[in-house]
Amino acid sequence: MRVIAIGTTGVNMKALSAELERCHKERGRGRLGLYFVEDELKKNVDWVIYLDSDDYYWQEQMWKEAVARSVARVEEESPDKAVLFMNLPYFRKSRFFPAVDVSLLRAYRPDLVVTLIEEAHVIWKRIQLREGREKTGAYLRLKDVFPWRTASILIGDIIAKAIGVQNVVMAVKHPSATIYKIILEGSRPWFYLSFPITYIRSDPEARGEVDRYRSVMHQKFAAFDPLTMDERVLKFAKRSGNSAVVEEGDRWLLPPGVKPAVEDEPELYPMEIPAEQVDEVLADIDNLIRFKDFRYILQSDAVAVYRPFMKKTFHRGVFSEIMYASNTAHKRVFIYLPHEDLVTGMDSPFGPGVGVVENEFEKFLNAIEKFVARFSAGG
């Protein structure tokens, strides 16, 4: 299994690689090789000069040579599984570069491309802290990180289509075992977890229940989880003078007891962001979250929905995911809809064409397990 892993600068790829190595020692066979194009590139160039150069063709050539050396190392060492990490694209002074040479990446013979993503405000803060230490001349506003991430996903799609493999978009805060299963084991099926978020965010009881559901699903299945990134926290950030302040405890990420592959560094919090930079992105946050979640649905084999009428409330986000999964992405949908969530006299709005609807949680899980068994058997 050979994987190309791309992402913007600031995504904590080294921490992820360490977790993949740990998972491989626990469950993998043979040797796992982890390679970083930027490490090769920095052997031959001064990093600041490289980023600041106006000689685009030189930048492109240096990148190509670094990729070629990395691929040669893979061929020489011939590990049983390999991940080739690279930052794509680079972003400097509002300019993206370099153009990707697909022929070099094709020579690597990848089985999969994975585009790694992380919260925009975490990327922004991590780069601010690094700049304070290393003085590389990097400068970006919070709003720059969003198109940078979108460009990275687009490049991943272009590479994958040119080579004839899949590009999987994945947040690095998924559990380590989940990332390992999906990108290095190729185990299927993959699920998307759909559950109420917005209307229960400030309800500890409801949040706890949803987190217990998520914990069960992560233990049993390979699942894409929308709350492995929490950018909506920017909408609730407290204002202090000219800053918006995000505290570590404000985030809603993985449930207790489920460890993410990459954890935020303690030095990131409290995170103070200029208020005007937060205001610049607020109008786009929901659209970008929807784009991410719908992408997760597209690359999943099925969607597992938890209580779309939780507390007798119409959860609009959950319904949009159900409709997208069934009508646009043509995915199998499993819905847990207990009787208590329906208003008296109300019938389930979900017909057989939408998916499997169960009013008992164990029956819901059993239906998913049967799907897994059939899927594994090629049914």
Q: Taking the model in full, what pTM does it have?
A: 0.95
Can you give the pLDDT at residue 27? 87
- Cβ atoms 200, 210 nearer than 8 A: yes
Listed range (7-11, 59-63, 67-71, 135-139) with the worst mean pLDDT: 135-139
Q: What is the pLDDT of residue 377?
A: 66
Taken in order 49, 51, 56, 61, the sign of the CA dihedral is positive
**pLDDT grade, residue 28 (50/70/90)?**
confident
For residue 212, the one-letter residue type is R
**Residues 3, 184: contact at Cβ < 8 Å?**
yes
pLDDT at 51 over 60: yes
Residue 137's SS3 state is coil
DSSP for 92-111, please give it: ETTEEE----HHHHHHT--S
- State the pLDDT at residue 113: 98
Q: How far apart are CA 144 and CA 124, in angstroms?
A: 9
What is the C-alpha to C-alpha distance for residues 177 and 248, in angstroms, rounded to an integer?
24
pLDDT of residue 253: 95
Among the listed ranges 22-31, 77-86, 293-302, 341-350, which one has the minimum average pLDDT value?
A: 341-350
For the chain, which domains are there? 2-300 (3.40.50.300)
**pLDDT by residue (tens digit) across 152-193?**
999 999 999 999 999 999 999 999 999 999 999 988 999 999
Q: For all residues of the chain together, what is the average pLDDT?
A: 94
DSSP β-bridge partners for residue 3: 83, 112
The pLDDT score that the predictor gives to residue 344 is 60
pLDDT in tens, 261-288: 999 999 999 999 999 999 999 999 999 9
What's the confidence (pLDDT) of residue 220? 95
Sheet holding 271-274, edge to edge: 238-240, 243-246, 271-274
Q: What is the pLDDT of residues 275-323, one digit of tens each?
A: 999 999 999 999 999 999 999 999 999 999 999 999 988 899 999 999 9
Residue 379 pLDDT exceeds 60: no
> Nearest-CA neighbor of 372 among 255, 220, 227, 245?
220
Q: Which amino acid is at 325?
A: A
Q: What percent of the chain has pLDDT over 70?
A: 98
Render 272-334 in DSSP notation, one character per residue.
EEEHHHHHHHHHHHHHHHHHHHHHHHHT-SEEEEE-TTGGG---HHHHHHHHIIIIIS--EEE
Beta carbons within 10 angstroms of residue 354's beta carbon: 17
- Grade residue 342 by pLDDT with cuts at 50, 70 and 90: confident
pLDDT for the residue numbered 349: 73
Q: Which pLDDT tens digit goes with each residue over 121-148?
A: 999 999 999 888 877 777 899 999 999 9
